[in-house]
Structure 1
Amino acid sequence: MKIGIGSDHNAFEMKCELLAYIEAKGFEVKDYGCFSPDEVDYPDIAFHVANGVINKEINRGILCCGTGIGMAMAANKVPGIRAAQVHDTYSAERAQLSNNAQVITMGSKVIGIEVAKKIVEEYLSVEFEGGNSGRKIDQIMEKEAEYSK
């Protein structure tokens, strides 16, 4: 599985640590930036990661900013993307198992790096289970397609 990762300047250090952690777990990782602690706007990075998923360059994405909120909002603007803001292992698990979230977002000013690592580990260890959840995801995607017309 290939993982895309990105952050703004607020979460630059977290992104760097998570990138190394994910690689150590045996995943291939593509870094979408930012590449320094200099101030950047997060939407472009979120769009790049989300488009990486849509274009099948990566299988899943992980985005970090100060709270995770802005990254989730931006990534969810890319048609076909389901990005979930998570701050604990249970929501990370459910983001994938129940909601087939291709992207998770986290806040470096909200959680510490050790919690972030556990969240990433949980998210990457599960697969979407479909079933009743699949029906609900289909409804969400149908509504998105309706609005896209």
Structure 2
Amino acid sequence: MKVAIGSDHAGYEVKEAVKALLDEMGLEYEDWGTHSSESVDYPDFASRVAEAVSRGRADRGLLICGSGIGMSIVANKFPGVRAAVCHNAETARLSREHNDANVLAIGARTTPMQTIREIVRTFFRTPFAGGRHARRVEKINRLDDVWSDRRMTSEKIQ
């Protein structure tokens, strides 16, 4: 599994710590920045990671900003990306099992480092459950098709 990872200035130090955890887990990753704690705009880095996932250059993504919210909003603009802000291991597990989330967003300012480690381990080790959840994820994928084509017809959504 290849992971695209990125952060803004608020998440930079946590991102560096998480990279060590990804190494421990044996996961390959590519760091899309930022590469310092100097103030930057989170959409620039969230879009790099989301594009890598959307285009298949990475299997999963990991985004870290102050709250995780801004980066998740940006990531979810990209076709095929299902970004989830996770606050604990349980939300990470459910995001993978039920939603087949492929991008994890974490808040560096809102989540203790030990909890972040638990979230990351859980997110990258939990498989998608499939079953009834596959039908629901397929409906999300159809919405991607509709909106990315800029055709907003109700018959395509149903």
Q: TM-score, normalised by structure 2?
A: 0.91
Larger Rg: 2
User: Any runs of at least 4 consecutive aligned residues in structure 1 with deviations exceeding 4 A, and if so which?
Assistant: none
Q: CA shift at 1:51, angstroms?
A: 1.1
Aligned to 2:105: 105
Q: State the shift of 1:126 in Å.
A: 1.2
- Structure-2 separation of matches of 1:140 and 1:2: 23
In 1, distance between residues paired with 2:137 and 2:90? 19
Q: How does 1:33-48 map to 2 (within 5 A)?
A: 33-48=33-48
Q: Distance in 2 between matches of 1:126 and 1:50?
A: 20
| Separation (CA, whole Å) in 1 of partners of 2:29 and 2:145 | 30
Deviation, structure 1 residue 82: 0.6
- Which ranges in structure 1 are unaligned for 5 or more consecutive residues? none
2:89 equivalent in structure 1: 89
Question: Quick one: which amino acid aligns to residue 142 of structure 1?
Answer: R
The two structures, once aligned, show a CA RMSD in angstroms of 1.0
Residue deviations 1:12-47, cap 9 Å, x none? 100000011111211111101100000010111111
**1:125 equivalent in structure 2:** 125
Measure how far apart 1:144 and its partner are.
2.6
Shift of 1:146: 1.8
Aligned residue for 1:72, secondary structure, equals helix
Question: What is the identity percentage for the equivalent residue pairs of Structure 1 and Structure 2?
Answer: 37
**Within 2, Cα distance between the matches of 1:61 and 1:144?**
18
| Unaligned 5+ runs, structure 2 | 151-158
Q: Aligned partners of 1:141 and 1:26: how far apart in 2?
A: 30
Calculate the TM-score normalised by the size of structure 1: 0.96
Paired residues in the alignment total 149
CA deviation profile, 1:107-130 (whole Å, cap 9, x unmatched): 011011111011000001111121
Partner of 2:140: 140
Change (3 A) 1:144 1:56: closer
